[in-house]
Amino acid sequence: MKISRITALSATVALWTITAAAPAFADEAPADVASEAADEIVVTGQGQTRQVQVLSSADIALQTPGTSPLKAIDKLPGVNFQSADPFGNYEWSARISIRGFSQNQLGFTLDGVPLGDMSYGNHNGLHISRALISENTGRVEVAQGAGALSAASASNLGGTIEFFTRGPKDDLGLEANGTYGSENTFRGFARFDTGTLGDGGPKASLSYAYHNADKWKGDGEQRQHQINARIEQPLANGKVYAFVNWSDRRENDYQDLSKAMIDRLGYNWDNFAKNWDLAVLVAHIANNRGDTGAPVTDASAGTVYPSPIQTSDDAYYDAAGLRKDLLASIGWDSEVAEGLTLKGNGYYHRNRGRGMWYTPYVGTPGGAPITIRTTEYEIDRWGTTGSIAYETGPNTIEVGGWYEDNDFNQARRFYGLADTTGKPSQSPLKFPKNPLLTQWEFDFKTKTYQYFVQDTLDLGQLVVNAGWKGLKVENKADPVVQGSLTGGKIQARDWFLPKVGALYRFTDEQEVFAGYTENMRAFESSTGGPFGTTPAGFSALDLKPEKSGTWEVGLRTTSSRFQGVLAAYYVDFKDRIISFANGAGILGNPAILQNVGDVRTYGFEAAGTYRITPALSVFGSYSYNKSQYKDDVVNAAGAVVVSTDGKTVVNAPKHLAKGEITYDDKQFIARLAANYTSKRFYDYENTASVKGFVIFDATLGYRFETGFMQGITIEGTASNLFDKKYISTIGTNGFANRGDSQTLLTGAPQQFFVTLKTEF
């Protein structure tokens, strides 16, 4: 065990040990400490019958502007977030897992609107970094094991992450900030609040953000325009609200690597961009050698790759992700009669996207030995959620539902490139036109039906809630251009998924909670799901929807100086569907899906915040997780194909430890954070892994209260403060059965940023 790991774990244990006696000490705390404790940046879910934490906007404000709220919640117990960029916004690399459950097994919502599973190849939603400007994040609620029954998600096997928008202010105001830093990063943000218009009238806000940064290695940029508009009309006992959020993101990709490639080519190896002539030469050589399956295109190029290149997959010319999104919603939340509350919203989401790769495996007739290979996305979905709750005495009964209609078109196309020198004839950051070939195209139709019923009984010291939800998702695929893939229908349905929880308060400061929850994950309506295979393969699939049963028990304590939680859990995960990688990612071969049986997961989590003074606080968390497959993968004849029985689940670190020291006296701001992630496996038989690492981030700032700079804040932030070299994301191209594969991304090096903020 490394010293860094021992230090991180010891610090967390020490924090818990010290603060266990905090209530007695806290009784002597001055009143100002108590008032500060009510505004903690992490709230440990006091009063909840399940493990849950809430991260406030105060914590998100300590990050570099533009940082994804997913990176901010990485400090919470059980949460593992990785990205190859310093902001956590680069979608090809952004991966979050909780207690061994991967991103597409979690649920995500924004103000109650479903965001789908937030996968890169979005089929039913969009990433939070496109759905909301980070400066407009009001709070984030993380339920590690059992999300609320009302959460609108068909994928929340392992918990939910619910984002909430910072609402319009009551007073007229203007906010603005500008950030500049490493890799020519520039970010500008402006927000105008109307304040309350008239007596009891509406209030609104309008925000714009622009973000542009060069890649930290290779050539390319990652840029985004965003607009958020929101209006709220207060009611006597509630509000009506509406928002429209728009995003245009275009980002060049980093080259996916294997461990062998990193050892041979170096940590900073990347795509060929802007060396177009070298990319063309390598493509000709690959054709001459027969590596691509294409005929010889230029015999004079020879058959020997220029050093240090050894294969046509060592680097491609470039790759990019393009996404345009419009997300709109109108909702209400009101007590319409004594004890009777109505909530609901209607929403619409439109997405147009491209995932682009310059591939040497398909040449342009009469042009370059390379084409642009795209995966194209078009989403048009709408839906509605609603609930009615009635409180009578100690009882609160609530029923509600969710319906969504999603039309999703997905296609694989190739676009030609002229035989030019110096640079390609089409830019990777523009939507290409006039395809040479449509390999396949499908219209997917998904209808989702969900309802829930729950009752909460609050007897003072004892709180009990129980209920269930029902979920049905119908998936249909109609080929426009079938290619080798399949159309058809499939559905996931379970009308009774129970949830029960209890909370007992020993005192106002100490409570214990326990609960059990069942969840189901629906199938994907995309080529990443059951439809990404041949008709014969689809007929042979023996798939059942994944299901989980989660047991939790925990203890919380809170006082004017300290709040903390200690929880343990056990998860029985049935009918685990594994997506086996099938060749290099650029080939676009459909992944092979197979039901590999059950997974057993258990572990414990501890987290606590200790306020030393009104300005100085310490936060720490530690998580232990053991997730193992319980069965081997066998073929139709019963022979073992992949030995997964007893193996650790891919990308499921056993240990996570986080620590943070924060100082804020309303003028001077300082923060130092450390994040430890242990070893992770990236093949199913556990023969390939990446080692653990510790990353430090820091913030220093000052708010000017007087003089000509009054109202201005200057902040300096650093990510990867000590310039640690490490592998961040694993599984970008899926996971192999065994051994090394080209599915890794290295983490961003040390980066520095300076931000000026002002508010009128």
* Residue reference for tokens 């370059």: 368
Q: Measure the N-to-C terminal CA separation of the chain; round to a whole number of Å.
A: 51
The confidence score (pLDDT) of residue 580 equals 56
What token pair was written down for 287?
């054709």
* Residue reference for tokens 């007229």: 172
Cα–Cα distance measured from residue 651 to residue 649, given in angstroms and rounded to the nearest whole number:
6
Q: How many CB atoms lie within 10 A of CB 336?
A: 14
- pLDDT grade for 18, boundaries at 50, 70 and 90: very low
SS3 285: helix
Which span out of 146-155, 370-379, 534-543 was modeled with the highest average pLDDT? Answer: 370-379
pLDDT digits (tens, 9 = 90+) for 671-696: 999 999 999 999 999 999 999 999 99
Say if residues 28 and 34 touch (Cβ distance below 8 Å).
Answer: no
Length of the chain: 760
- pLDDT grade for 719, boundaries at 50, 70 and 90: very high
pLDDT above 70 covers what percent of the chain?
92
The confidence score (pLDDT) of residue 643 equals 92
- pLDDT grade for 20, boundaries at 50, 70 and 90: very low
500 vs 587, residue with greater confidence: 500
Bond prior to 308 in cis (omega within 30° of 0): yes
Q: Is the pLDDT of residue 593 over 70?
A: no
- pLDDT grade for 40, boundaries at 50, 70 and 90: low
Q: Is the pLDDT of residue 35 over 50?
A: no
Bond prior to 445 in cis (omega within 30° of 0): no
The arithmetic mean of pLDDT across residues 637-642, rounded, is 84
What token pair was written down for 188?
């500008």
Say if residues 182 and 50 touch (Cβ distance below 8 Å).
Answer: no
Q: How many CB atoms lie within 10 A of CB 236?
A: 8
Parallel, antiparallel, or unpaired: how do β-strands 160-165 and 107-110 relate?
parallel
- pLDDT grade for 204, boundaries at 50, 70 and 90: very high
Following CA atoms 728, 732, 736, 740 in sequence, which dihedral angle do they give, to the nearest 10 degrees? -40
Q: Is the pLDDT of residue 540 over 80?
A: no
The confidence score (pLDDT) of residue 585 equals 60
Full 3-state SS string of 471-521: EEEEEEEEEEECCCCCCEEEEEEEEEEEEEEEEEECCCCEEEEEEEEEEEE
The confidence score (pLDDT) of residue 32 equals 34
The confidence score (pLDDT) of residue 12 equals 35
Q: Is the pLDDT of residue 29 over 60?
A: no
- pLDDT grade for 201, boundaries at 50, 70 and 90: very high
Say if residues 416 and 367 touch (Cβ distance below 8 Å).
Answer: yes
Cα–Cα distance measured from residue 244 to residue 460, given in angstroms and rounded to the nearest whole number:
41
Say if residues 513 and 479 touch (Cβ distance below 8 Å).
Answer: no
- pLDDT grade for 39, boundaries at 50, 70 and 90: low
Q: Is the pLDDT of residue 22 over 70?
A: no
